[in-house]
């Protein structure tokens, strides 16, 4: 059984989209996505520097665009039994599953990105990965400092989010046997700090007509496999201020019998987590077109006739 996963913000690097735009039709598709988002996907995916693409209003549409482009290059329609995305990657996943068409997906991510960027500007906030240590001690230290465990990523990684002062205290006095790494994001995503972004996103969601998913979408909220389109869309809105339970998503993949996992560009982060938490599952990070042959082999080896799409 095959799962396709889509990375979230912080996975982007300067120039990562450049080799993909040489493939037939992808530059034109990127230009179409640019028109839909108001963000020049081609420019930001090829020549913009690290500081520019760190901007939430740019990073989120760029990451979703990359996922849609690389999925198109894979030619993987109908091959996967499950799809999941981390944070903003869940929008990519919803589009791959047919819940949102590409136009709706890019409008949704553009609205999300603008709203979260504006919310991030209200108070200086950020996120830091806490690696290792006892999970209960890490959560207790976060609570002590008023931080939110915004991403429960499994594999010994919890991402704390809050004000820069709170994160500074965490960095200077981390939990025992834990290492704290500040992340390249501009705000405390998936916390109450993002509440100002919800109203406009909900207003847009009310105008969309989501379809039921063609394959199961694993929800960030709790790892449930969802096929009801309205439920997927509602969870995408709620996700802005709710923690991402990627640990639960990986558990679901294991429970459903996933044997292969392909991560779309900008790939690497989710495969890294899977290598530690999903032993025995073959993984592939599709970073450049050079990885497409390996992806095609995985599509053949791990695809089956099961849908993996029971709603829970």
Q: How many independent structural domains does the chain possess?
A: 2
* Contacts of residue 125, Cβ cutoff 8 Å, sequence gap at least 6: 161, 162, 163, 164, 187, 188, 191, 193
Q: Which of 44, 190, 193, 302 is catalytic?
A: 190
**Residue 120 phi, psi dihedral angles, 5° rounding:** -65, -25
Annotation marks residue 87 as catalytic:
yes
Q: Which of 34, 81, 87, 219 is catalytic?
A: 87
* Contacts of residue 207, Cβ cutoff 8 Å, sequence gap at least 6: none
Same-domain check for residues 64 and 207: yes
**Would you say residue 308 lies in a domain?**
no
β-strand pairing of 125-132 with 282-285 = unpaired
pTM over 0.85: yes
User: Which pLDDT score, from 0 to 100, does residue 184 have?
Assistant: 76
**Would you say residue 311 lies in a domain?**
no
Domain that holds residue 149: 122-182
User: Which pLDDT score, from 0 to 100, does residue 251 have?
Assistant: 97
Only one residue has tokens 């990965």, namely 129
Q: Which of the four pLDDT bands, split at 50, 70 and 90, describes residue 185?
A: confident
**Would you say residue 105 lies in a domain?**
yes
In angstroms, rounded to a whole number, what is the distance separating the alpha carbons of residues 123 and 126? 10
Question: Which pair of structure tokens corresponds to residue 106?
Answer: 């890019």
Same-domain check for residues 130 and 272: no
**Would you say residue 176 lies in a domain?**
yes
In angstroms, rounded to a whole number, what is the distance separating the alpha carbons of residues 197 and 140? 28
Only one residue has tokens 């869940």, namely 90
* Contacts of residue 198, Cβ cutoff 8 Å, sequence gap at least 6: 115, 237, 240, 241
Question: pLDDT (tens digit, 9 = 90+) per residue, 191-208?
Answer: 999 999 999 999 999 999
**Would you say residue 307 lies in a domain?**
no
Last residue of a domain, one of 135, 152, 182: 182
Same-domain check for residues 245 and 112: yes
Residue 270: Cβ-neighbour burial (10 angstroms; 0-12, 13-18, 19+): buried
**Residue 221 phi, psi dihedral angles, 5° rounding:** -65, -40
Residues facing residue 127 across a β-bridge? 161
* 89 pLDDT more than 90: yes
Annotation marks residue 173 as catalytic:
no
Same-domain check for residues 22 and 109: yes
Percentage of residues in the chain having pLDDT higher than 90: 92
Same-domain check for residues 159 and 220: no
User: Which pLDDT score, from 0 to 100, does residue 304 have?
Assistant: 67
Only one residue has tokens 């108001």, namely 38
In angstroms, rounded to a whole number, what is the distance separating the alpha carbons of residues 253 and 40? 34
Region of 143 (left: φ > 0; alpha: ψ -120 to 50; beta: rest) is alpha
CATH code for the domain of 244 = 3.40.366.10
User: Which pLDDT score, from 0 to 100, does residue 284 have?
Assistant: 98
In angstroms, rounded to a whole number, what is the distance separating the alpha carbons of residues 140 and 157? 15
Q: 3-class SS at 261?
A: strand
User: Which pLDDT score, from 0 to 100, does residue 171 have?
Assistant: 97
* Contacts of residue 306, Cβ cutoff 8 Å, sequence gap at least 6: 1, 81
In angstroms, rounded to a whole number, what is the distance separating the alpha carbons of residues 248 and 281? 16
Q: How many CB atoms lie within 10 A of CB 200?
A: 14
User: Which pLDDT score, from 0 to 100, does residue 306 have?
Assistant: 40
Same-domain check for residues 212 and 291: yes
Cα angle, residue 270 at apex, residues 278 and 202 outer, rounded to 5°: 120
Same-domain check for residues 93 and 173: no
CATH code for the domain of 169 = 3.30.70.250
Same-domain check for residues 115 and 128: no
């Amino acid at each position: 059984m095959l799962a396709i996963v889509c990375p979230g913000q912080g996975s982007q690097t300067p120039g990562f989209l450049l080799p993909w735009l040489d493939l037939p039709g992808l530059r034109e598709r990127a230009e179409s996505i640019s028109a839909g988002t108001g963000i020049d996907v081609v420019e930001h995916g090829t020549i913009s520097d690290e500081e520019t693409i760190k901007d939430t209003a740019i990073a989120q549409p760029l990451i979703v665009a990359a996922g849609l482009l690389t999925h198109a290059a894979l030619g993987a329609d109908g091959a996967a039994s499950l799809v999941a995305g981390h944070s903003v990657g869940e929008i990519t996943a919803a589009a791959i599953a047919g819940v949102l068409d590409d136009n709706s997906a890019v409008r949704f991510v553009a609205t999300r990105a603008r709203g979260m960027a504006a919310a991030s500007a209200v108070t200086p906030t950020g996120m830091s990965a806490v690696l290792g240590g006892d999970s209960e001690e890490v959560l207790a230290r976060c609570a002590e400092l008023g931080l939110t465990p915004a991403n429960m990523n499994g594999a010994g990684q919890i991402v704390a989010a809050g004000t820069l002062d709170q994160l500074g205290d965490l960095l200077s006095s981390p939990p025992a046997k834990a290492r704290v790494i500040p992340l390249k994001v501009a705000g405390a995503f998936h916390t109450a700090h993002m509440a100002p972004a919800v109203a406009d996103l909900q207003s847009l969601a009310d105008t969309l007509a989501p379809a039921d998913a063609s394959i199961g979408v694993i929800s960030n909220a709790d790892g449930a496999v969802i096929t009801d389109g309205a439920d997927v869309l509602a969870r995408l809105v709620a996700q802005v201020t709710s923690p991402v339970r990627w640990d639960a998503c990986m558990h679901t993949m294991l429970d459903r019998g996933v044997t292969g996992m392909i991560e779309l560009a900008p790939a690497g982060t989710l495969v890294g987590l899977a290598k530690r938490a999903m032993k025995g599952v073959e993984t592939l990070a599709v970073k450049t077109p050079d990885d497409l042959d390996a992806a095609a082999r995985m599509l053949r080896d791990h695809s089956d006739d099961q849908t993996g799409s029971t709603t829970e």
